[in-house]
């Protein structure tokens, strides 16, 4: 007897979840979701809505591209993250951190923060241009946070399952600031307007580099995925690029599509995001965040 459509969907959704969350993803999901105790954010909070949506697939890729334009941030990633040697492991660690801090208990969220701070204290070095960097630098943490929040919110507004109004968007930025402050970031924006100002402030510090362009080439043209899912990945990548500002594409050496190309990329990205949402089931991409049980 052939498997039902529902069974095929569940199988595909589980495979996708395990690819993103790692081999221990199912156990982590249960731990995050089922452990009793107070949470930092209540159900229905904007941060839960944004971080639990399939648009995070595009937002995460956009964030990595944008973050790479800071020379110190890119040097730290290139030297210490293993993003090329173990890209799926890095993705699993990142998705688990987002899941725990967004959906987990307050104690587990703080423990995750403490672990990351411990790691950051040990990451130091010098860029190829001779600039010293430290992962625990409050200003550098601010940039990483700003690039993430801007990307996650931008992608949700374009591809999210439900509309988000201006009040909820401001609330999302404010809620996300809690994690950044706990990690040690300084001058963290707490509104969409503050976020835009912070991005403008960083512009003089950003620029093209061989490492950033190498990372973009890897993410966009040499992804660690098999041929079967390469078309879907490429669609998400094009959607991420289409959502970047023109100056970021120029610095990355990536061709930004024109108005028609951006519209087509966004339409295709929306279709792929809806397909991912269908694969993951009625609880949306919170499965990828590691919180919803099958």
C-beta of residue 288 within 8 angstroms of C-beta of residue 51: no
- Per-residue tens of pLDDT for the chain, all 294 residues: 556 656 655 665 556 555 565 567 667 777 887 899 999 999 999 999 999 999 998 999 999 999 999 999 998 887 776 666 555 566 677 888 999 999 999 999 999 999 999 999 999 998 888 888 999 999 999 999 999 999 999 999 999 999 999 999 999 999 999 999 999 999 999 999 999 999 999 999 999 888 899 989 988 887 776 777 788 888 989 999 999 999 999 999 999 899 999 999 999 999 989 988 887 765 544 444 443 332
Query: Residue 229: its pLDDT value, please?
Result: 73
Instruction: Indicate the number of domains in the chain.
Output: 1
Query: Within a domain: residue 189?
Result: yes
Query: Within a domain: residue 292?
Result: no
DSSP the chain: -PPPHHHHHHHHHHHHHHHHH-TTHHHHHHHHHHS-S-BSS-TT-HHHHHHTSTTHHHHHHHHHHHHTTSHHHHHHHHHHT-TTTSHHHHHHHHHHHHHHHHHSBHHHHHHHHHHHHHHHTT-EEE-TTS-EEETT-HHHHHHHHHHHHHHHHHHHHHH-SS---HHHHHHHHHHHHHHHHHHT-SS---SHHHHHHHHHHHGGG----HHHHHHHHHHHHS-S--TTTHHHHHHHHHHHHHTS-HHHHHHHT-PPP-HHHHHHHHHHHHHHHHHHHHHH-TTGGGGTTT----
Query: Residue 127: its pLDDT value, please?
Result: 83
Query: Residue 129: its pLDDT value, please?
Result: 81
Query: Within a domain: residue 230?
Result: yes
Query: Within a domain: residue 62?
Result: yes
Query: Within a domain: residue 133?
Result: yes
Query: Residue 288: its pLDDT value, please?
Result: 46
Range of the domain at 206: 5-283
Query: Within a domain: residue 288?
Result: no
Query: Residue 28: its pLDDT value, please?
Result: 74
Query: Residue 287: its pLDDT value, please?
Result: 41
Query: Within a domain: residue 289?
Result: no
Query: Within a domain: residue 291?
Result: no
């Amino acid at each position: 007897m052939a498997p039902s459509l529902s069974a095929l969907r569940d199988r595909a959704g589980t495979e996708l979840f395990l690819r993103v969350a790692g081999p221990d993803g199912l156990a982590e999901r249960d731990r995050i979701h089922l452990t009793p105790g107070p949470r930092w954010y209540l159900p229905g909070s904007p941060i839960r809505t944004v971080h639990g949506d399939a648009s995070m697939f595009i937002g995460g890729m956009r964030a990595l591209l944008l973050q790479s334009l800071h020379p110190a941030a890119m040097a730290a990633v290139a030297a210490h993250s293993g993003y090329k040697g173990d890209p799926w492991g890095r993705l699993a660690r990142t998705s688990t951190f987002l899941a725990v801090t967004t959906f987990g208990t307050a104690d587990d969220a703080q423990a995750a923060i403490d672990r990351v701070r411990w790691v950051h204290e040990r990451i130091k070095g010098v860029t190829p241009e001779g600039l010293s960097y430290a992962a625990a630098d409050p200003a550098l943490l601010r940039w990483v946070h700003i690039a993430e929040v801007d990307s996650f919110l931008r992608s949700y507004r374009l591809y999210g399952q439900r509309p988000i109004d201006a009040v909820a968007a401001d609330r999302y930025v404010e809620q996300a600031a809690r994690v950044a402050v706990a990690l040690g970031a300084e001058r963290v924006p707490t509104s969409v307007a503050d976020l835009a100002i912070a991005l403008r402030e960083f512009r003089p510090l950003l620029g093209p580099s061989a490492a950033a362009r190498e990372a973009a080439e890897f993410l966009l043209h040499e992804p660690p995925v098999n041929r079967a899912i390469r078309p879907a990945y490429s669609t998400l990548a094009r959607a991420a690029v289409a959502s970047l500002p023109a100056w970021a594409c120029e610095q990355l050496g990536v061709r930004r599509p024109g108005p028609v190309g951006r519209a087509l990329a966004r339409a295709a990205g929306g279709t792929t995001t809806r397909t991912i949402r269908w694969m993951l089931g009625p609880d949306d991409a919170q499965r990828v965040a590691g919180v919803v049980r099958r």
